[in-house]
């Protein structure tokens, strides 16, 4: 999500403690465990905390990895007998951030290695931050020792943004997308209850949907508007054109950087503009599973924050889909 800082309302007051643990009060709460539903901003918060730590400690050595990649790295290290090297790499860092504890719930070796890392971290002031879709008591596959170590630090449940926080988030999201919202439109998105609009991703989806379909309906007959209805197929065609590649390559199995980025843009737009499930998006993008689509969406979220070229590409694709 294209925000430069995490917007926290009264519902997430504990975030001040999370910020302290990576800046002025280094390692006071270690480990830091953050959990909340998909789309609530966990990944963005992790990047904000990491950015704050880097600003406070310019020579910070850090590792940011998804739970799936952490488990894969451990498995590969075991296979090639290089676990010692992996451990040295982790121990040399000042901060390790793992995004997706739930992804290692069935990975025994990864859990054991994380327990070892946490023990080392507590002894040597290495800050560990872990995020998860579910709370520790909701992941039955976790080893009791891992649960014990993670619960021994600061456990931070992220709540969905309430009215004041939603208003601030909507203002920033709309500005970042060059979208102008009137007072009435703003209130329609922000007001509670709004069915299905509870997370930050939902808010971005609501903003883009309103802008997109308002533009689709401008200066057109009802039939013309229906003929130009937004679909995943149109998004894919526009993305392929923007990234200068064929539709076949975009939805195919190519692992080239351009194809990966184009798919991420398609998933992001299909999710935010059409509010489709990741399962349906994956099916329409080369029959991929929902996990792959979710991973692409998260990749796009990060790229929009960190890569101006990708952000511009998404804006250009959106404009091509909404301009008369």
Residue 67 makes CB contacts below 8 A (sequence gap 6+) with 98, 99, 100, 101, 102, 103, 104, 110, 132
pLDDT at 219: 37
Q: Pick 196 or 91 by higher pLDDT.
A: 91
Domains, the chain, with CATH or none: 10-157 (3.40.50.300), 163-322 (1.10.1750.10)
Average pLDDT, the chain: 80
Q: Pick 39 or 76 by higher pLDDT.
A: 76
Q: How many CB atoms lie within 10 A of CB 175?
A: 13
Q: The tokens of 117 are what?
A: 């890392």
Q: How many CB atoms lie within 10 A of CB 319?
A: 12
- DSSP for 265-302 reads HHHHHHHHHH---HHHHHHHTTS--HHHHHHHHHHHHH
Q: What is the pTM of this model?
A: 0.60
Which of 8-12, 84-88, 258-262 comes out lowest in average pLDDT?
8-12
């Amino acid at each position: 999500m294209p925000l430069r800082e995490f917007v926290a309302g009264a519902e997430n007051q504990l975030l001040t403690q999370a910020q302290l643990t990576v800046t002025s009060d280094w390692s006071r709460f270690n480990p830091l465990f953050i959990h909340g539903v998909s789309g609530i901003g966990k990944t963005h918060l992790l990047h904000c905390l990491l950015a704050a730590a880097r600003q406070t400690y310019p020579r910070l050595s850090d590792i940011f990895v998804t739970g799936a990649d952490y488990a894969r790295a451990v498995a590969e290290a075991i296979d090639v007998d290089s676990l010692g090297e992996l451990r040295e790499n982790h121990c040399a860092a000042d901060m390790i951030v793992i995004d997706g504890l739930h992804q290692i719930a069935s990975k025994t070796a990864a859990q054991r290695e994380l327990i070892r890392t946490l023990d080392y971290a507590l002894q040597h002031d290495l800050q560990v931050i872990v995020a998860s879709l579910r709370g520790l008591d909701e992941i039955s596959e976790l080893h009791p020792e891992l649960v014990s170590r993670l619960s021994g630090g600061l456990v931070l449940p992220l709540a969905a943004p309430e009215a004041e926080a939603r208003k601030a988030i909507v203002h920033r999201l709309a500005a970042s997308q060059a979208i102008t919202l009137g007072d009435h439109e703003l209130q329609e998105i922000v007001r509670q209850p709004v069915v299905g609009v509870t997370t930050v991703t939902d808010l971005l989806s609501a903003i883009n949907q309103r802008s997109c379909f308002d533009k689709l309906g401008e200066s057109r007959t009802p039939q013309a508007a229906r003929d130009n209805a937004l679909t995943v197929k149109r998004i894919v065609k526009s993305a392929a054109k923007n990234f200068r590649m064929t539709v076949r390559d975009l939805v195919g199995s190519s692992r080239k950087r351009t194809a990966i980025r184009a798919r991420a843009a398609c998933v992001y737009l299909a999710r935010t503009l059409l509010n489709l499930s990741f399962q349906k998006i994956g099916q329409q993008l080369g029959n991929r599973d929902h996990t792959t689509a979710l991973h692409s969406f998260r990749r796009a979220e990060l790229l929009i924050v960190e890569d101006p070229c990708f952000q511009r590409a998404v804006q250009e694709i959106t404009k091509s889909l909404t301009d008369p």
